[in-house]
Structure 1
């Protein structure tokens, strides 16, 4: 008896669950952007303590995203690597199911204009460390791709959710091995993303972190808007 129907229903339920979460999360993201812009506008009146409190809340907001993403990944890792809740444009920008960590430092360089020499040196060191970790994760992902290209995994992945009772357990083991490998590399990539952002905030002064977080939120929301517009335009043709 095929279990494809149950598998597809589970995928759809997971996708809807994350889409609902993301919609509410993005609304809060827009509110945080307003706060960050206001903090920049009145920076001469704001204290570092006020900035730190806002920065802490924004970082906690991002942590909520990663916690929910992790929950969905544990349920269906393949869905996270091909997320239906993103536009085709957003998906094209993904690196291991998220943004490339080095983007964080590039955003700092483009959005914060009053970096000290010490800060520049620390950021350059962080760039080097981040690139090395990105390369290591690229290598891990390449190994996974190579394993997927070899039988019997191709057949298993292509027929995921349509396995028949009584088939050789090797297929289940192969699919489980693939999922475990993807979960591991995703966990490492998300950890690198969050750790890089935290290290950047530690290097920056509170007022500079507000500028950086503003630029990050603006970029994300613009990519979201551009992607939606492009997909809508494609559907009308």
Structure 2
């Protein structure tokens, strides 16, 4: 049974890694489209830019859908993903980039927002930070519960053999509860990431969106490249 479970886990990881590699290739293609649109923004119709923006956002949504699928299989894989380098993971907040990072990228890539846009962005930032803190507190509560009763009591009880074997039913029940709670936190974190991006895009003009999404995509791919280079350097030592 354990061997079968490991084979299933390996298959799920390989399937996601294959999806992710294809997703990254498409990500690079979208970056070229965004850069091209940026060069001719003044000549482009808003409808064309909006179509590109919608396709880029849909591309990110595909990633979240696949991520949710593998998290439902084993949420621990998403919190310690083997398809990301340690350097990439150093930027993570609840198994992904922190929503607040979007505002830092925005500040560096869009410098022509109107007063109304700036005020709406500030309101969005305050709301986002409140939700970030709530999720951080919830994750901390779950992590603390791992070393707190009743889990410790269950673990101690499981150290007592029952008819020559260990009774693990209680422990499995507790771990299933923890797994479910982690899945909920992850889903809410991904929802916050998506919702923050969608609302931010609604505030910006099409041209501003192209500049913002170009900067986001460039940063993500650069972090990926730097992480790969660091891993390669470590292997050569």
- Give the TM-score, by structure 1 length: 0.92
**1:114 is paired with a residue of what secondary structure?**
coil
Corresponding position of 1:188: 188
Residue 7 of structure 1: CA displacement? Answer: 2.9
Residue 72 of structure 2, aligned match among 69, 74, 82: 74
How many residues are treated as equivalent by the alignment? Answer: 227
Which of 31, 34, 40 lines up with 1:33 in the alignment? 31
Q: How far, CA to CA, are the matches of 2:42 and 2:195 in structure 1?
A: 29
* Contact 1:153/1:174 (<8 A) preserved: no
Q: What secondary structure does 2:196 align onto? A: helix
Q: TM-score, normalised by structure 2?
A: 0.92
Secondary structure at 1:174 match in 2: helix
Aligned residue in 1 for 2:63: 65
Q: Secondary structure at the match of 2:103?
A: helix
Residue 140 of structure 1: aligned partner:
138
Q: Which has the higher contact order (CA 8 A, sep 6+)?
A: 1
The residue number in structure 1 matching 2:208 is 208
Contact 1:33 1:217 in 2 (8 A): yes
Q: Which residue number corresponds to residue 120 of structure 2?
A: 122
Q: Over aligned residues, Cα RMSD in angstroms? A: 1.7
Q: Displacement, 1:167? A: 2.9
Counterpart-to-counterpart distance in 2, 1:143 and 1:24: 36
CA distance in 2, matches of 1:71, 1:106: 30
Which of 49, 53, 66 lines up with 1:51 in the alignment?
49
Contact 2:41 2:207 in 1 (8 A): yes
Higher CA-based Rg? 2
